[in-house]
Amino acid sequence: MSLLLDESERALVAATPLFSEIDADTLLWLLDGGGVTTYPDGGLLFSQGDAADRFFVVLAGRVSLFALTESGDQSIIEVVDKGASFAEGAIFANARFPLNAAVAPGTRLLDIPAASFLRRLSERQGLSAKLLASLARWQRHLMREIVNLKGRSPVQRLASYLLALSGPVADGAAEAVLPLSKTDLASLIGITPESLSRAVNRLKPIGVTSHGRSFRIADKAALRRFCGTD
């Protein structure tokens, strides 16, 4: 693998949640036997029910994991982006791939054969415990993200919506013009029209002012911090 991955790709692999607690040398040894493939045209990587004899890390591009519905349509279960691993659950379970995987054109994947990976994992004492520690940390991270997504207040949802409307400029001042009435905006963020003006007032100390459908944001970075999406 040392021949196949450049420095930035190696850093990318080391940063995947699964390997976050494994030191660089051990990781190189553990992944020895892995190969890198680029898929210029994309296509099907594996099908549901195929023997899970390898798992993958996305080095560039993206992979869709999908099930097929009865009518033959693809139902996308997960989109795996650069820097994430997939199918490791299936190899630990000595199982078959539970889903189909399709790669987008230009995707580059590191594939790690299950047999050598599991053999090496079993050979070095304490290594599986480290992988477990990586997963424990990842679990906390994911749980926190879910709480953040579920637990945001209506005022935070209003702030997120205004941020989204204000366009791609990252920081500083911005304008946002509502493409919908305030009644619809209230409905969108899940509050009554009466409490919308309260929510708008709550954003004043964070530098948001409004005239009719037009909002002015004094400092997008401050608003983003308020949303908890920073």
We find the least distance from the C-beta atom of residue 3 to another protein, in angstroms, to be: 28
We find the least distance from the C-beta atom of residue 146 to another protein, in angstroms, to be: 6
What CA–CA distance (Å, rounded) separates 229 from 149? Answer: 9
CB contact burial 133-154 (16+ within 10 A = b; e otherwise): ebeeeeeeeeeeeeeeeeebeb
We find the least distance from the C-beta atom of residue 206 to another protein, in angstroms, to be: 18
Closest CB to another protein among residues 150, 211: 150
Report the residue count for the chain: 230
Closest CB to another protein among residues 140, 204: 140
Question: Which residues of the shown chain bind another protein in the complex (CB under 8 A)?
Answer: 17-18, 21, 76-79, 88-89, 92-94, 118, 121-122, 125-126, 128-133, 135-140, 142-147, 149-152, 157, 160-161, 163-165, 167-168, 178-181, 184-185, 187-191
Closest CB to another protein among residues 4, 49: 49
Closest CB to another protein among residues 4, 79: 79
Residue given tokens 């009865």 in the structure block: 70
We find the least distance from the C-beta atom of residue 6 to another protein, in angstroms, to be: 27
CA-nearest of 111, 17, 101 to 57 is: 111
We find the least distance from the C-beta atom of residue 60 to another protein, in angstroms, to be: 16
What is the number of other CB atoms lying within 10 angstroms of the CB of residue 122? 10
CA-nearest of 115, 66, 68 to 86 is: 66
Residue at 87: amino acid letter: A
What CA–CA distance (Å, rounded) separates 96 from 126? Answer: 27
Closest CB to another protein among residues 2, 69: 69
